Amino acid sequence: MSREATVLFDAPGPRARRRNLVLTVIAALVILGIIAWIVYALADKGQFDKVLWHPFTQWDVWRTYFIQGTINTLKAAAVGTVLALVFGAIFGLARLSDHWWIRVPAGAVVEFFRAMPLLILIFLAFFVPATVSPIIADGPLGNFQRVMVENVFSIFGVTINNGTVTVPAFAAVVFGLTLYNGSVLAEIVRAGVQSIPRGQSEAAFALGMRKNSVMRLVLLPQAVTAMLPVIVSQIVVLLKDTSLGFIIGYEDLTSYGFKIEPANFSNLLQAAIVCAVIYITINLIVSRIATMLEARISRSKKSITTMSAGSSLPAAGMASGGADAA
Amino acid sequence: MGQLFDFTEVIKNLDKIAISFWATIRLAAVTAVLSMILGTVWASFRVSPTPVLRGVGTFVVNLLRNTPLTLLAAFCISALSDILKLHFSETPTVNGYWWAVTALSVYTSAFVAEALRSGINTVPLGQAEAARSIGLTFTQSLRMIILPQAIRSVIGPLGSVLIAMIKNTTVVAAVAYGVDAVSEMKQLFFDLGATLPMFIGFAIGYLVLTLPTGFFFGWLSKRMAVAR
């Protein structure tokens, strides 16, 4: 029971404390009742049968399904994070350019991908190349396409056969994650640099630094510190979004844990709970890092501004203020 | 090369595209209402003076925010509907529609709750103290001092949540429902070939849904901003 005044409630006196105690007891009883009812309903349908939970005590089941799935999820998330950070840095800085012919196209790209559902970007990468590539192969860019696929995109498992490009699910997921989260990160970079007080760049210019040095030596080091918590919480979003690979058949944790494992042991409900626990654990660890970074940054007096991990950026099309959920 | 940008199939199927986006809009509209209601419940739990309710609110919000929506939607349709036989309706599409709405509403409600709670937290403590010291009761200070300020600062974040929710209709529909714009896009990809113009057609559809919503909420939150 909070003894201190909050925005909503004054510090409770003896009567309020008594009332809160009564409310606490009633709330606890109601919630216990709901839990008991769910447990009873599940037991009634036989969901606590030993057979259904037994597979989770087997090391083989964990190794073949859950650990393999977690590795695939983390693999897509890691590659996606690195590429999205690169994309975000490039486009975020491009949006801050003094030249309109860099700033405007970069802004259009970022706003477009931020306004798109991630799933249709994944569908774009997964389905479209197979129909489009043979047409390109017959055109003047055919050779360029072949060289690009063989030397660059083959890293992600993309193959070309007689001019037809095949994109594996992994590459499609990474493509979508990179473009979508990269665009969000671009906005974070832009907001981070803009959050540095003007006096900083004015002082740097007064010292005779050029645009490049001002950005590289003065603005970016401070901006990166300020935006680290927001970047980490965006990585949590990216990690959760890897599960979209389930829809196109990428063998991530959702696929392994929710489709392949239950297909063998027919314990879908139980497997879903285990999957959720794994996801939540990973995400809480990453979120914890964000909170720690935030606390550390706000402790040290070096940074001028901090962007909080909880709230971040307005959605596409909005000018200011807001938390970016996804 | 010209056939890369041949839009005739898109124009021929405009009616199908429009119908599929109408399904997306219906899904999003119902979800918006339900997630607002549920989100308000979680938020009121989280700011209540009762530790048990605060704990429950925090637990539920953290649980939902850290679970992938894909898993939640798949859990609703495969585990709750198919295994536990919890059906909204005997018709599969109607059942799928309501489970998609449920999964998305429950998921979005966590983000709504966070937006509302941070809105209440933006009201300076001094405002509440001043209200109490001039003798306003709890209801009066809530109604006249705190909520008017909190609601204004919450418009922007809620707009972002709404836009994210519109985009997330693709996920629940693909997993549990199968009648929205992204499912239609997949169907047309299979029927007519996955061409760039077809993708562009659907991409423009989503831009039309999300960008004006963003402009509107950006404008509204600026207009309603509390001058401090």
CA A131 to chain B, closest CA, distance in angstroms equals 6
Nearest CA among B96, B94, B67, B93 for reference residue B81: B96
Nearest CA among B124, B122, B127 for reference residue B156: B122
Using CA atoms, how far apart are residues A157 and A295, in angstroms rounded to an integer?
40
Whether A315 sits inside 8 A of B174 (CB atoms) is: no
The dihedral of CA B192, B194, B197, B199: what is its sign? positive
ipTM: 0.89
Q: Which residues contact B1 (CB under 8 A, 6 or more apart)?
A: A135, A136, A139, A140
Distances (CA, A) of B104 to A75, A204, B118: 27, 49, 21
Q: Give A1's contacts in chain B (Cβ within 8 Å).
A: 49-51
H helix intervals, A49-141: 50-53, 59-61, 68-95, 100-115, 118-138
Q: What is the pLDDT of residue A8?
A: 82
Q: What is the pLDDT of residue A27?
A: 92
Q: What is the pLDDT of residue A321?
A: 37
Tens-level pLDDT at each residue, chain B (228 residues): 667 777 888 888 888 889 999 999 999 999 999 999 999 999 999 888 888 999 999 999 999 999 999 999 999 988 888 888 888 888 888 898 999 999 999 999 999 999 999 888 888 888 988 988 998 888 888 888 888 888 888 998 999 999 999 999 999 988 888 788 888 888 888 888 888 888 999 999 999 999 999 999 989 988 888 776
Amino acid of residue A205: F
Whether A284 sits inside 8 A of B62 (CB atoms) is: yes
Give tens-digit pLDDT for A98-118: 999 999 999 999 999 999 999
CA angle, B150 then B154 then B160, to 5° = 175
Q: What is the pLDDT of residue A131?
A: 84
Q: What is the 3-state secondary structure (H, E, C) of A277-325?
A: HHHHHHHHHHHHHHHHHHHHHHHCCCCCCCCCCCCCCCCCCCCCCCCCC
Q: Give B78's contacts in chain A (Cβ within 8 Å).
A: 258, 268, 272
Decide if A313 contacts A191 (C-beta within 8 A). yes
Q: Which residues contact A279 (CB under 8 A, 6 or more apart)?
A: A239, A240, A243, A253, B66, B67, B68, B71
Decide if B196 contacts B5 (C-beta within 8 A). yes
Using CA atoms, how far apart are residues A239 and A237, in angstroms rounded to an integer?
5
Tokens read off for B183:
């499912």
Distances (CA, A) of B72 to A236, A283, A292, B99: 16, 15, 28, 10
Residue B126 touches chain A, beta carbons under 8 Å: no
Interface contacts A/B by beta carbons within 8 Å? 247
Q: What is the pLDDT of residue A43?
A: 87
Tokens read off for B37:
């209601």
Taking the C-alpha atoms of A226, A232, A237 and A241 in order, what is their torsion angle to the nearest 10 degrees?
130
Taking 50 as the pLDDT cut, the residues of chain A under it are 1, 311, 320-326
Using CA atoms, how far apart are residues B15 and B201, in angstroms rounded to an integer?
12
Nearest CA in chain A to B130: A7
Q: What is the pLDDT of residue A280?
A: 93
Helix (H) or strand (E) holding A35: helix A14-44
Q: What is the pLDDT of residue A1?
A: 43
Q: Give B35's contacts in chain A (Cβ within 8 Å).
A: none
Cβ neighbours of A29 (radius 10 Å): 11
Nearest CA in chain A to B46: A8
Tell the burial category of A300 from Cβ atoms under 10 Å away from its Cβ (0-12, 13-18, 19+): exposed
Give tens-digit pLDDT for A248-283: 989 889 888 888 888 888 788 888 888 999 999 999
- C-alpha of B157 from chain center: 12
Length of chain A counted residue by residue: 326
Whether B49 sits inside 8 A of A20 (CB atoms) is: yes
Helix (H) or strand (E) holding A165: strand A164-166
Q: What is the pLDDT of residue B206?
A: 93
